[in-house]
Structure 1
Amino acid sequence: MANVGYVRVSTAEQSTDRQLADVTLDKVFSEKVSAKTIDRPQLDACLEYLREGDTLHIHSLDRVCRSGAGDAVKLVEKMNEKGVSVQFHKEGMRFDGSMSAAQKGVLSILASVAQMERELIRERQIEGIEAAKAAGKHLGRPRVRATKEDVINLLNSGVSKAQAAKQLKIGRATLYRLLDK
């Protein structure tokens, strides 16, 4: 009877440290992939690893929902059929056997709320980008202010290409691109 954890964050810059930090686990499956993707090799490996009598610990519903409430219900049903208990810590929900209609309903509602929350975040992000564009703000990488003439002048004064790139605050690839113009 093992305590197995599954933790997921959306980007490589994020840390999984806070998820299940207070839970003693025998094995942890961790991955850094977006909630939108259906390709989650560590989740698949975790579900394959689990055996009858084990408990799967998940920080929150939104860590496993991919495309809606049905995902969470399917996962719990699949694990319970194997004799695996599933615990969602943030929501304080544990499933140890077949789910009642009420449990399925509550799980579906909470998973739907998690999905709605993700979609609202994305909508606000798009609104913010549109507002910044409307205000004339430049989005993305900073524009290159150096010109071919700037590069040639520095090179003619005896500065190396690497040093010229540093002085102009551009990458070496940008320097070569400017020279090719």
Structure 2
Amino acid sequence: MVKTVIFARVSTSLQEYDRQVSELTTLSKSNGWSIEAVFAEKISGAKSNKERTELLNMISYVERNHIDKVLVTELSRLGRDTLQVLEVIEMLNKKKISLYIQNYAIETLTQEGKVNAMSQFLITILAEVARMERKTIRERVESGYNNFRANGGKVGRKAGYMKSDETMKKEYAEELRLLKKGYSLRNVSKLTHTSVNTLRKLYDKFC
């Protein structure tokens, strides 16, 4: 039987990785694979590999226990830095351990344990595109702020301005209701169009 481990990641302590684990468990069962362990972490994927304890634990585990595949729902769960992601994949390849990426249904090794050149190429492209998108977004935001300031604008609230707790509770009643029901910040943001930063402040203050 093919031996697998599940690796899941979310970026903040307020997010949950249960959906990732559930989807990969279903995938394993449908393919007749055994799940030997589950590794999950709450940390930014932009962190270096050496800063990610669970990732290092997973790599150590698969090496010791002769695991065949590491399962992730999408490449960004493994990390968001192109070089860091490729470093992990290279380590797994050397140990003849395949990385299976669910949303693209591709993996890094063939059934014979050889490097899948096409998937390796796609993974490199996908990781680099994701990195470029994040860089572009940051640059656009920074450019917008700089242009606004250059034209006499001031970023942020007016000095001394602060909403009362009661005002915030009324204004963000729906957001608070969803947060208290256990919805993730990202899902609440999609439903209400309120920024994740604002939701995080609401959660810390009222939940």
AA partner of residue 60 (structure 2): E
Structure 2's unaligned 5+ residue stretches are 26-34, 164-207
2:60 equivalent in structure 1: 48
2:132 to 116, 121, 140: 116
2:115 to 99, 104, 118: 99
2:75 equivalent in structure 1: 61
2:46 to 33, 36, 57: 36
Secondary structure of 1:21 counterpart:
helix
Secondary structure of 1:14 counterpart:
coil
AA partner of residue 12 (structure 1): S
Is the CA contact (8 Å cut-off) linking 1:52 and 1:83 kept in structure 2? no
Q: Distance in 1 between matches of 2:105 and 2:160?
A: 45
Question: Residues 12 and 137 (structure 1 numbering): CA distance in 2 closer, same or farther, change over 3 Å?
Answer: same
Is the CA contact (8 Å cut-off) linking 1:77 and 1:98 kept in structure 2? no
Secondary structure of 1:18 counterpart:
helix
Secondary structure of 1:22 counterpart:
helix
Structure 1's unaligned 5+ residue stretches are 146-181
TM-score by length of structure 1 reads 0.63
Bigger helix share: 2
Is the CA contact (8 Å cut-off) linking 1:9 and 1:31 kept in structure 2? yes
Report deviation, 1:90.
1.7
CA-based RMSD of the aligned residues comes to 3.1
After alignment, is 15-24 or 83-92 more displaced? 15-24
Equivalent pairs counted in the alignment come to: 144
Question: Residues 53 and 33 (structure 1 numbering): CA distance in 2 closer, same or farther, change over 3 Å?
Answer: closer
Q: How does 1:1-181 map to 2 (within 5 A)?
A: 1-24=2-25, 25-38=35-48, 39-50=51-62, 51-68=65-82, 70-96=83-109, 97-126=113-142, 136=154, 138-139=156-157, 143=161
Q: Distance in 1 between matches of 2:54 and 2:146?
A: 35
Report deviation, 1:41.
0.6
Q: Deviations over 1:35-68 (max 9, x none)?
A: 2211111101011111324321112111223532
After alignment, is 91-100 or 47-56 more displaced? 91-100
